[in-house]
Chains A and B, each alone.
Chain A
Amino acid sequence: PPLPSSMGAVWLTSKSLQDVLQILELARTKYLNEVLAAFEFMDHDVLKLVGMTHGASVKPPVAIMDDVPLYSILVETHGSNQDHDEEKLQAFVENIMDKGLVVDGAIAQNLGQVQDFWKVREACNPAVAATGYVYKYDVSLAADDFDGFIREMRSRLMSLPQQGLLCVNWGHIIDGNLHCNIVCQGKFERDPELLMYIERSVLEGVMTRNGSISAEHGLGQYKNKHMTKIKDAATLQAMWSVKKLFDPHLIMNPGKYLPSD
């Protein structure tokens, strides 16, 4: 498809994931519709890490406050008519401000600023990786379940004796997908016991909410042992039959996705 001739972006901050989700709904179904190209959220814990690892080179358009727990959102629009897209963005922003869903924000005034907004979003992963060993989970939940899931994860981590455990989150929330990252500040080796505890917590948190642990990155090698907990034996048998039909010698992606027993 051809590159959009009109690109815009707005950075928003909100007090809660509930507000973030309402903003998403308004963007998707009422104000931006077909010009909505990206909707990314970042919690301020990950943005604080970005501040620590990237310093002044990557600055969020709206400064991160210390105390108030907030979320930042990056919304991008793509279209073919700059005037039309900017009108839609203005109407969207006015409306979410009127509804009190937004604390602050900034509208990109040129393409350079659009790129600067993305630099912040793209710094999230490197920032967390530079902080410590990251236990990463790509989870799919119904939009309304994110708040509860994050709260639960954080309280489970707080009940551990280790210090410096953080649960930081960001995602293409538009797909119902959360990059949940648990990092132990200053510790760069994987801790097998901690791993088991975290995996159990994530799995239970996701399963009780009827979510999925594979999301966009698929199951790969590490997570297939959990498949036995998620799908019952009969279902797994059926999945194996289909696989053997297409791949009788098991040469395609060996060891991935389906557990070998």
Chain B
Amino acid sequence: MKVLVGVKRVVDYAVKVQVQKGAVNLKNVKMSLNPFCEIAVEEAVRLKEAKAAEEVVALSIGPKQATETLRTALAMGCDRAIHVSTDLRTDYMELQPYAIAKIIQKIVDQEQSDLVLLGKQGIDSDCGQTGPMLAGFLGWPQVTFAANLNVEGNGITVERETDSGTETIKIPSLPAVVTCDLRLNEPRYATLPNIMKAKKKKVDTIKAEDLGVDLTTHNEVVEVFEPPPRKEGIMVESVDDLVSKLKSAGVVA
């Protein structure tokens, strides 16, 4: 099977984002591979190591620096990479899941992929829409929030996270779209020999405008603001004081 893995370059998980001029400030801010995409890459590489996949291609949509994110994916074990270049913001401000899914669809058609692995959501936009939209455009079955994936015959059996427990979904035959969740695996480190090998792997760049996809921002972002700061608490002097304050606030009878 040929696997296509989506990798998104996002603000690093550990960064405390700030809002400037109505958008998240991206200047001088540490950027990394989206954690859920990292899990998707790890799963794809494991499929290759288990000889279930013959080729793993990593795909990223973004500016020139997205090739660095692709290098991480290559260092983790992907065979080659495709960079769809665009200077549009991919954190929902400009390029949105509808267009992103359309772009990925074009690449899937080009690559004739059998399985598309994506992170369940980008930690910048937190949409979780690209996977399901892509499956819709392709007319393929989808499983989202995968916590376990097994290849069975021509298809896959996936355990899926839900609010009330785990659901097991069987897709009897590929192709399919799977979005990956936290419990699926623990991604490997990018080790030195693999980082060096990754430099020699092929990265093809295509301009987003050349794909014939409508890149218009259809949804308008009206406002972006930081959550209000935590309000100061009230100090109480005694248990009686606490109880009376709780009573007057209607918290206890």
Interface residues of A (CB under 8 A from B): 5-7, 11-12, 61-62, 80-83, 86, 93-94, 97, 102, 104-113, 115
Contact segment of B12-20, B172-180, B223-231: B12-20
Docked-complex contact B15 and A111, CB < 8 angstroms: yes
Shortest C-beta distance, B22 to chain A (Å), equals: 21
Alpha-carbon gap, A12 to B191, bound state (A): 9
Q: Per DSSP, are chain B's interface residues mostly helix, strand or loop, or mixed? A: mixed
Shortest C-beta distance, A188 to chain B (Å), equals: 35
A105's partner among B13, B28, B32, B192 (CB-CB below 8 A) is B192
Alpha-carbon gap, A112 to B192, bound state (A): 18
Docked-complex contact B13 and A112, CB < 8 angstroms: yes
With A82-B30, A110-B32 known to touch, is A94 a contact of B196 (CB < 8 Å)?
yes
With A5-B28, A82-B31, A86-B68 known to touch, is A113 a contact of B189 (CB < 8 Å)?
yes
Alpha-carbon gap, A197 to B192, bound state (A): 43
Q: Residue of A at shortest CB range from B65?
A: A83
Alpha-carbon gap, A104 to B190, bound state (A): 11
Interface residues of B (CB under 8 A from A): 12-15, 28-33, 35, 38, 65, 68, 72, 75, 189-193, 195-196
A107 contacts which chain B residues (CB < 8 A)?
Answer: 75, 189-190, 192, 195
Alpha-carbon gap, A104 to B35, bound state (A): 24
Docked-complex contact A6 and B72, CB < 8 angstroms: no
A109 contacts which chain B residues (CB < 8 A)?
Answer: 32-33, 38, 72, 189-190
With A5-B28, A80-B28 known to touch, is A105 a contact of B191 (CB < 8 Å)?
yes
Alpha-carbon gap, A62 to B190, bound state (A): 10
Once A and B bind, how many residue pairs between them come within 8 Å at the CB atom?
A: 65
Shortest C-beta distance, B171 to chain A (Å), equals: 31
B68 contacts which chain A residues (CB < 8 A)?
Answer: 83, 86
Alpha-carbon gap, A111 to B10, bound state (A): 12
Docked-complex contact A61 and B189, CB < 8 angstroms: yes
B189 contacts which chain A residues (CB < 8 A)?
Answer: 11, 61, 106-109, 113
Docked-complex contact B33 and A110, CB < 8 angstroms: yes
Shortest C-beta distance, B32 to chain A (Å), equals: 4
Alpha-carbon gap, A49 to B161, bound state (A): 37
With A61-B189, A106-B189, A111-B13 known to touch, is A7 a contact of B30 (CB < 8 Å)?
yes
A11 contacts which chain B residues (CB < 8 A)?
Answer: 189
B191 contacts which chain A residues (CB < 8 A)?
Answer: 61-62, 104-106
Q: In this complex, which of B13, B29, B75, B189 has the most chain A Cβ atoms within 10 angstroms of its Cβ?
A: B189
Alpha-carbon gap, A111 to B15, bound state (A): 8
A106's partner among B33, B65, B192 (CB-CB below 8 A) is B192
With A93-B195, A104-B192, A106-B189 known to touch, is A111 a contact of B28 (CB < 8 Å)?
no
Q: Residue of A at shortest CB range from B32?
A: A110
Alpha-carbon gap, A74 to B195, bound state (A): 17
Alpha-carbon gap, A39 to B13, bound state (A): 25
Docked-complex contact A111 and B192, CB < 8 angstroms: no
B28 contacts which chain A residues (CB < 8 A)?
Answer: 5-6, 80-82
Can you give 21 contacting A-B residue pairs, CB < 8 Å? A5-B30, A7-B30, A12-B192, A62-B191, A80-B28, A82-B28, A82-B30, A86-B68, A97-B196, A102-B192, A104-B192, A104-B193, A108-B189, A109-B72, A110-B30, A110-B38, A111-B12, A111-B30, A111-B32, A112-B13, A112-B35
19 extra A-B contacts, CB within 8 A, seeds A6-B30, A93-B195, A104-B192: A5-B28, A6-B28, A80-B28, A82-B30, A82-B31, A86-B68, A93-B192, A104-B191, A106-B189, A106-B190, A107-B75, A107-B190, A109-B38, A109-B189, A109-B190, A110-B14, A110-B35, A110-B38, A112-B13
B196 contacts which chain A residues (CB < 8 A)?
Answer: 94, 97
Alpha-carbon gap, A75 to B68, bound state (A): 20
B33 contacts which chain A residues (CB < 8 A)?
Answer: 109-110
With A5-B29, A5-B30, A93-B195 known to touch, is A111 a contact of B14 (CB < 8 Å)?
yes
Q: Residue of A at shortest CB range from B76?
A: A109
Alpha-carbon gap, A112 to B32, bound state (A): 10
Shortest C-beta distance, A13 to chain B (Å), equals: 9
Shortest C-beta distance, B12 to chain A (Å), equals: 5
Alpha-carbon gap, A82 to B75, bound state (A): 19
A113 contacts which chain B residues (CB < 8 A)?
Answer: 189
Q: Residue of A at shortest CB range from B189?
A: A106
Q: Residue of B at shortest CB range from A94?
A: B196
Alpha-carbon gap, A101 to B32, bound state (A): 28
